[in-house]
Structure 1
Amino acid sequence: MALTGCQSMPADSGPTLYQQLGERPGIANVVEDLLYLIVDDERINHQFKGVNVAQFHRNLTDQLCELSGGPCNYSGRSMRELHSDMAITDTQFNALAENLILAMEENNIPTAAQNRLLKRIVPLYSDIRNL
């Protein structure tokens, strides 16, 4: 059958998720906008009181960079350790996800890239919620 040859053709080698996010500078911009959204969000801003903003920005940028396939290495604490005493609720987890989506939209990240990143974040849910 003629279509069998198509199955071995390489997939479209378009931009990587890391590239779609704008590489490290683009990810840093998303994280910066996310921080402003967190401050204004009464559902979660109390969880971030006393956080070293510069360190949080750097760590989250590195983590999203690494999750997106970029050359960064996240060297912060594990998600389970970091959130162990926070009692994060589903509402709070979802609020942060909503704010991340808004920050990505503000930075013109394509919806498909947003979804790809969120898919890579979802496995962290049980560690963040400490389930």
Structure 2
Amino acid sequence: MLLRQIFIICIFLLLSACTNSPREQSLYDALGQQEGIANITHQMILNFAQDERVKHRFKGVNMQKFKIGFTNYVCALVQGPCEYQGDSMKTIHAGYNYTNTEFNAIVDDLILAMEQCDVPVATQNRLLAKLAPTYKDIVYH
């Protein structure tokens, strides 16, 4: 009888430990939700303006519209409550003939923006992994 009670207690403790284990924070929350994503986007735009490799690509672009669109895109991509209603990445970037160098510069500017907004490297990597598949829709060979 005592052995059975000990066994039941051990099973209960094991199950309790499993249910109380910390879950990984959602990427949306880890990025600071919509406000955090908007702050990262704003900083990224500031970085574009200083980046000789890509700043010419943004001349004449409505940066407020870009900020709202990119913020909503990322928010939706990381399962936030936002709904992205813009065009596909392929449609938006068609005909611009972005180079690998320009793509990498934009990624560099995004990483810098995340660093400037104190986003942990692990969270940065999670977002970059979500964004990586868009490469094929932006850079044409």
Question: Shared topology, TM-score over 0.5?
Answer: yes
Question: 1:99 maps to what in 2?
Answer: 109
Amino acid at match of 2:72: D
Q: Distance in 1 between matches of 2:22 and 2:139?
A: 36
Q: Superposition pairs for residues 45-64 of structure 1, below 5 Å?
A: 45-64=55-74
Equivalent pairs: percent with the same residue? 41
The alignment status of 1:38 with 2:41, answered yes or no, reads no
Amino acid at match of 1:79: M
Deviation of 1:74 after TM superposition, in Å, equals 1.2
Q: Distance in 2 between matches of 1:13 and 1:69?
A: 16
Deviation of 1:14 after TM superposition, in Å, equals 3.2
Deviation of 1:130 after TM superposition, in Å, equals 3.5
Deviation of 1:118 after TM superposition, in Å, equals 0.1
Runs of 4+ in 1 over 4 A off after TM superposition: none
Q: TM-score, normalised by structure 1?
A: 0.89
Question: 2:6 maps to what in 1?
Answer: none
Match of 2:66, SS state, is helix
Q: Distance in 2 between matches of 1:73 and 1:64?
A: 10
Question: 1:27 maps to what in 2?
Answer: 37
Unaligned runs of 5+ in 2: 1-13
The alignment status of 1:17 with 2:24, answered yes or no, reads no
Deviation of 1:85 after TM superposition, in Å, equals 1.2
The alignment status of 1:68 with 2:59, answered yes or no, reads no
Q: TM-score, normalised by structure 2?
A: 0.83
Question: 1:81 maps to what in 2?
Answer: 91
In 1, are the aligned partners of 2:99 and 2:140 still within 8 Å (CA)? no
Q: Distance in 2 between matches of 1:128 and 1:12?
A: 37
Amino acid at match of 1:38: F
Amino acid at match of 2:61: V
Q: Distance in 1 between matches of 2:138 and 2:23?
A: 33
The alignment status of 1:118 with 2:128, answered yes or no, reads yes
Deviations 1:80-126 (A, max 9, x none): 11111110000000000001000001111111110000000000010
